[in-house]
Amino acid sequence: MKFYMPVRVYDEDECVKAHAKDIAALGNKALIVTGKHSAFANGSFDDVAEVLNDVKIEYSVFSEVEENPSVETVFAAKDKYASAGIDLVIGIGGGSPMDAAKAIALVLKHPEADPAYLYDKEKDASSLPIVCVPTTCGTGSEVTGVSVLTRHDKKTKISMVHKVFPTLALIDGKYLKGASQTLIVNSAMDALSHLYESVINAKADDYVRMTAAAGLKTWAKIKDVLSGAREMTKEDAGILMRASALAGMSIAGSGTSLPHALSYALTYDLSLPHGRAVGYFLPAFMEAAPAGERDELLNLSGFESVEEFRSFTGSVFGEQDVPAEELKRTYELVSSNAAKMKSASFTVDEEVLKQIVFWKK
């Protein structure tokens, strides 16, 4: 067994400003990697910029990261900044900017890197130091080494093979303020899927169960915010972020399983948000899982049964129809991927996979 979580995590109010010195210790010239809008609207960019100015770190801003960032975007950043003397990368936002920041920090460290570098296990995985400032509550990317990138050549998303962990994660629930209910639901359901899939996983061990159990108990506290039963408070925002980080630590230990594998083509083809695409398959995956372990996980997160969980996902996501052709492509992609088929803690043959994919008769 191995517990490897090399990220220094701070989770507190005004976290970015409180840790200016920690940022300053990592470099002299930063590249801030963000999406186009939210980091500029929720105050996170301003906080980081203020701190960088205070500690006299020069910075450039690459704000071209799209939802589900592509390999092409990573190399657009490399082309632009390869000779700019960047020695620190700061990812601000949801999973997309943070995942892009990791890949960019990797290729900026290796001037010779081409797209194949990201998918070549033999290559050096060292990167520039990375600071992550999450502004959503699902990905957990601030504590994982994973960078999921869109591969237009394969018409899906594929994680790069290298594990590139941030050095520093600065977590502050205040950046969730103003996020839409839809974004909160999509990302919190992604976090929940990380917690379930990391445990119902061939690679799960007691360390994964430890972080997942803490994450599930934390997540249970905000279930009624997702259902709309009450408004999100400042405390809830912090709890949502914490559940997401604990879920990230769980998948850093064991990885995700079939709902994630199945989700990628749906996101690519239908532009379904990640949490929603994963959530489409999650209840059927839970139903197929061994009852003892499954019910324990459901109970920790506040559900008494698979039926209650299925009805909860139905109520937060609403009715979701996926075209039969799309489900067929998804099924074929995953059923032909031996590693994905073996990723769960229980035996998944073609029949079981069909139950999970085609659950909606």
Nearer to Fe ion, 173 or 259 (CB): 259
Segment lying near Fe ion (by CB under 5 A), choices 28-36, 185-193, 235-243, 339-347: 185-193
Return d(Cα 193, Cα 187) in angstroms, integer.
10
Closest CB to Fe ion belongs to which residue? Answer: 190
354: amino acid identity, one letter: K
Antiparallel, parallel or unpaired: β 8-11 and 156-159: unpaired
Nearer to Fe ion, 190 or 236 (CB): 190
Amino acid of residue 156: T
Rank residues 62 and 281 by Cβ distance to Fe ion and give the closer one: 281
> 142 or 190: whose CB is closer to Fe ion?
190
Q: Residue 330 to residues 263, 281, 343, 347: CA-CA distances in angstroms?
A: 8, 11, 16, 19
Q: Which is nearer to Fe ion, 45 or 196 (CB)?
A: 196
Contact pick of 47, 172, 190, 197 for Fe ion (by CB under 5 A): 190
* 3-state SS class at 92: strand
Binding span for Fe ion by CB under 5 A among 33-41, 67-75, 189-197, 209-217? 189-197
CB nearer to Fe ion: give 99 or 190.
190
Count of residues touching Fe ion (by CB under 5 A)? 1
CB-facing half-sphere around the CA of 75: CA atoms within 13 A: 13
- Residue among 98, 74, 68 nearest 7 (CA): 98
Listed ranges 38-46, 186-194, 217-225, 294-302: which one lies at the site for Fe ion (CB under 5 A): 186-194
Rounded to a whole number, what is the largest CA-CA distance in the chain? Answer: 60
- Please state the closest distance from residue 311 (CB atom) to Fe ion, in A: 22
Q: Which residues, at least 6 apart from 23, have a Cβ–Cβ distance to it below 8 Å? A: 16, 51, 52, 55, 57, 88, 90, 131, 168
Rounded least distance, CB 8 to Fe ion, Å: 23
| Helix 234-254, helix 181-199: angle, nearest 10 | 30
For Fe ion, the closer of residues 133 and 247 by Cβ is: 247
- CB count, 10 Å around CB of 121? 7
Least Å distance between CB 221 and Fe ion? 20
Closest distance to Fe ion from the beta carbon of 63 (Å): 23
Beta carbon of residue 52, minimum distance to Fe ion (angstroms, whole number): 29
Min dist. Cβ of residue 315 to Fe ion (A):
21
By the criterion CB under 5 A, which residues form the site for Fe ion? 190
